[in-house]
Amino acid sequence: MSMPTSAKVITFICTFDRDRSKAFYGGTLGFQLIHEDDSAAVFNLNGITLRVSEAPDFKPADHTVLGWDVADITATVKTLRSKGVTFNFYDGFVQDDIGIWTVPGGATRIAWFDDPDGNVLSLTQF
């Protein structure tokens, strides 16, 4: 049996501190908390479900674990910076002064930032 094509995607993020993550994903990023139980705080990410679960022993990955396709990356970065989000700068990537990298040979632009637990998140404009 294969996966039903009508199945909806659910993504997961681990946290050390659920309340801090709820404030970040709900307050700073502005996503709606749709459910909470002993296992997770659950957000609606524009039709995709995000479960934020406490996992005291997890180690954040050093790569992007969740990202968003945005229409205007410059405006989105500036809005998030005004809310206290710090964007990551990486050696070997030529990023502009607000942290946006333009992929060589194309028009795709990407900016990275961390959630409060060090999970790397990104914005992409194609």
pTM (predicted TM-score): 0.94
The domain in which residue 80 lies consists of 63-126
> Is 35 a domain residue?
yes
Q: How far apart are CA 43 and CA 22, in angstroms?
A: 9
Domains in the chain, number: 2
Q: What is the pLDDT of residue 3?
A: 83
Count CA atoms closer than 13 A to 123's CA, side-chain side: 26
Q: What is the pLDDT along the chain (126 residues), one digit of tens a residue?
A: 788 888 999 999 999 999 999 999 999 999 999 999 999 999 999 999 999 999 989 999 999 999 999 999 999 999 999 999 999 999 999 999 999 999 999 999 999 999 999 999 999 999
37 found inside a domain: yes
- The CATH number of the domain holding residue 17 is 3.30.720.120
| Predicted pLDDT of residue 4 | 87
